[in-house]
Structure 1
Amino acid sequence: MKIFHGTIEIAGQMGILSGEQKKRGHLAAGYNIFHSYLGYKDHLVNTNPDEIQKTHKHIVNFFDQFHFHYATSLLPDYQDLEIIKHKGKKMIMHHWGNDIRFHDRARVHNPYVYTGDSPANEVIHHRLTQISRYVDEAIVQDYEVYAYAQPYYKKVHVVPISIDLTPIVPFYPKNDVKRPLILHAPTNPEFKGTMAIEAAIQELQKSYSFEYRRIQHLNHEEAIRLYREADLIVDQIRCGSYGLLSVEAMALGKPVIAYIRNDIVAQFPSQLPIMNANPDNVLTAIQSFLENPALRVERGLQGREYAEKYHAKEVVVDRLEQIYDNLPS
């Protein structure tokens, strides 16, 4: 199978999925037009919108499975989707959150959510309407995103974030650490709830001995090296679900704090070891890990097991292959 991923790389996902698909004998590549300090490059063709548009005919003719990401396609106004559809080739759209997180709907179940990174509701609606004229099915990473996509597509699949565990050796917390290290790595502080996290940290530093670091503006490889040193990682506490940082932290054997919306907690596997906390109670959550080193070890061990069972690229691509096989052409 010749698999096209494009055109925006979110959290290294196009590269991870392409790499595993190539390992299985497929010809797969991620065409990426979004370039950031994170520096993702594995299994990617890093390009730009002009080059994509110039070569779109070759791309359309060459590939037979199109896995689009983040509400994007090859041409403006999704003109390529009709062409691909008429050629009888398979397509699916992978939504990641901010591309379809309607502002008003997000607040129905989540008073903490920040949607400043999402387009206007009218723009999201227009894009989803245009895409779903030609693309029948979509993928989302969890049920926080599912509700935004579901009204537009004939079928929406929930496929967890993928991670390559091969190079990730777990570094579990130790019981006897005198000054545990807490890390937080916000790509967007408002989205992640950094202000509330750091207010809690400052308050706790009055009574507890620990070190805190905010990790920002480092490429992905450098950030992972620093995550290894952590005894606790605090991820996003406003969104209503966990992101790549939580998955990487679990893979490294670290306990994690993130906010999972109450109405979707039951949709996740019961073994999810993430400590659930929002801006109102994140201080208490951090405090529980500071006071109980054994809890840090326990959640770290559980996190690695969870990452292996649900987020390993092999597991995710198994699921993708089933989805691809059953897509309409």
Structure 2
Amino acid sequence: MIALANRMTHALLTRVAVPIGRRRTQARLAQGIPASLWGTTPILTLPLKARADRMLGLQSQSLVLQTYYIARDFDFNLERVIRWLERHAGGLIAPFERVLLAWAMWRYDVFHFFYDKGLTAPVTRYGVNPAELDLLRAAGKRVYLYAYGADVRRRAETLALGRWNFCAECPEPGRFCTCTPESAPIMAGMAERATCAVALGDMLAYVPDARNLHYWPIDLARVPPAPTSRLDGPLCIAHAPNHTHFKGSHYLEAAIIRLRAEGHAIEYVKVQGVPNAEVIRMFSEADLVADQFIGGAYGYTALEGMALGKPVMTYVRAPELVESVEECPLINVIPDTLEDALRWCIANRALLPAIGAQGAAYVRRWHSIDAVAERLGRLYEQTAGFPEATLKPIRNARAAVVAARLTIPQAEGWQHPYTVMKGDPAMLMGFTA
């Protein structure tokens, strides 16, 4: 039975799904009604990316095959199906995945995957199956690959980035990320097959010829500003690391201990492994949000903190890793400058609300769902080869976002000594790789 299922689903893909999928894509693009799929890694922002695509006129949905403790808002969540097959019919998982791929080829024209997995099982530990990519391209599909961190990060290249990096204090190399150099040719093979390989932040170091594009959208309706207003009492610092060794948490805690010993009143709140809503609540009550201090690129924690109107401390290795760097109010620090930066925040507490207000404006201007839609639209215009019927609504949507951005006011008096625009604080201190 299993052998027959394998033969039939192979034939379904190659003899039916590819030619029919190609014809359906050509027809939808000619009519200006393309459809896109975001999957399959259960990243929190997948549904938001699908919303961004819909702003451009695409019929877009998100699909995951498994979930973590965050499991909301995905259009298709097939975790129960996969678990049932694993328990009762493990030999049918591969045929099921081929049927799923055939369905997707019939239904969608643009595929967005992270580098660790597509709709079918990887050939190795990580990676979108090369056969899947070949079938999608044979069917005329546009395929875009994105990085989230662990799916691309290799230890040698990371350590070469400089004194401070995500591998500097990893307790167990090989457990959390791809790590090994053997993943490099796998990554190159995926990038060659894709319409475009995309990355951001420190992840640009691992993906061959990747396009630098910020693709973490934030739902501003979910994180309305809760600006810092207290100018007296203990300075409340909030920190929500997923893994403390990748964030430099102990450097923050050591700096707080030293500052408390000097007589400074500091309240420190740290949470781990809690629902995102609890993190947002904690950030809302804080005066300052601490992201990470060793990685060299800001992540979603920093965006959430800024959206809430909070000053955010993080480490950004280079100005080109942020959008519109002259507007970016992040407090850029490494472990060596963290204590001095905290001392500055305590001494200049009256300036923190302005820094927070600029953060809220910055996220609204550059990291909203609208802003990410505008960048995705530019990506499509430059790489997808869409016909005019599909391109026209994309151009119109982009123009509307750019016009709306001009109406979003920025804060005044927010500038501080630790801006990203001044460059890598590690290099400024003389650290090299």
Q: Secondary structure at the match of 2:112?
A: strand
Please state whether the residue corresponding to 1:28 is helix, strand or coil. Answer: strand
Provide closer, same or farther for how the CA distance between residues 322 and 232 of structure 1 changes in structure 2, counting only shifts above 3 A: same
The residue aligned with 2:146 is 94
Question: Are 2:73 and 1:21 equivalent residues in the alignment?
Answer: no
Q: Distance in 1 between matches of 2:98 and 2:272?
A: 33
How far apart are the structure 2 equivalents of 1:35 and 1:279? Answer: 34
Match of 2:319 among 265, 268, 280: 265
Question: How far 1:30 moved relative to its partner?
Answer: 1.7
Q: Structure 2: which 5+ residue stretches go unaligned? A: 1-33, 83-92, 124-128, 168-172, 386-433
- Partner of 1:4: helix, strand, or coil? strand
Give yes or no for contact 2:64–2:78 (8 Å, CA) kept in 1.
yes
TM-score of the superposed pair, with normalisation by structure 2 = 0.69
CA distance in 1, matches of 2:64, 2:104: 13
Match of 2:361? 305
Q: Structure 1's 33 and 198: CA in aligned 2 closer, same or farther, altered over 3 A?
A: farther
1:135 aligns with 2:185: no
- Output the CA distance in 1 between the equivalents of 2:51 and 2:360: 21
Q: Output one character per residue of 1:271-293: Cα deviation in whole Å (capped at 9) or x when no partner.
A: 21111111222122222112221
* SS of aligned partner of 1:288: helix
Residue 204 (structure 2) pairs with residue 146 (structure 1): yes
Q: Deviations over 1:248-307 (max 9, x none)?
A: 00000000100111xx22553122111111122212222211222122112101111110
Identity fraction in percent: 25
Partner Cα distance (1:103, 1:199) in 2: 27
| Number of the residue aligned with 1:174 | 229
Alpha-carbon distance change, 287 to 45 in structure 1, aligned in 2, over 3 angstroms: farther
Equivalent position of 1:118 in the other structure: 177
Distance across 2 between alignment mates of 1:114 and 1:327 = 31
Check conservation: 2:230, 2:287, Cα contact below 8 A: no
Q: Distance in 2 between matches of 1:267 and 1:227?
A: 24
- Greater CA deviation, 217-226 or 242-251? 217-226
> 1:183-219 CA distances to partner (integer Å, 9 max, x unpaired)?
0000011111111111112222222112111011111
Task: Please say if 1:185 is aligned against 2:240.
Answer: yes
Pick the aligned partner of 1:234 from 286, 290, 311.
Answer: 290
| AA matched with 1:42 | D
Q: Which runs of 5+ in 1 are unaligned?
A: none
Q: Whole-Å Cα distance in 2 between the matches of residues 53 and 286 of structure 1?
A: 54
Residue 65 (structure 2) pairs with residue 33 (structure 1):
yes
The question of whether the paired residues in 2 share the 8 Å contact of 1:99 and 1:124 is answered with: no
Deviations 1:50-72 (A, max 9, x none): 46455221112211100112432
Aligned counterpart in structure 2 of residue 7 of structure 1, from 40, 45, 68: 40
Q: Deviations over 1:95-146 (max 9, x none)?
A: 122222221222223212133422133342132133123114112233x222
Select which of 73, 78, 83 maps to 2:118.
73
> What pairs with 1:172-321 in structure 2 (closer than 5 Å)?
172-206=227-261, 207-261=263-317, 264-268=318-322, 269-321=325-377
Q: CA deviation at 1:24?
A: 5.3
| Structure 1 residues 319 and 114: CA distance shift in structure 2, 3 A | closer
Matched, 1:109 2:161: yes
Aligned AA (2:192): R
Maintained 8 Å contact 2:200/2:321 = no
Q: Is the 8 A contact 1:253 1:300 kept in 2?
A: yes
Does the 8 Å contact 1:160/1:310 carry over to 2? no
CA distance in 2, matches of 1:267, 1:141: 7
Bigger shift: 231-240 or 158-167? 158-167
* Alpha carbons 1:71, 1:94 under 8 Å: kept: no
Shift of 1:242: 0.6
1:21·1:28 contact (CA, 8 Å) conserved in 2?
Answer: yes
Give TM-score, length-normalised by structure 1. Answer: 0.90
The answer to whether the 8 A contact 2:213-2:375 is kept is no
Q: Are positions 1:327 and 2:383 aligned together?
A: yes
How far apart in 2 are the matches of 1:71 and 1:93?
Answer: 9
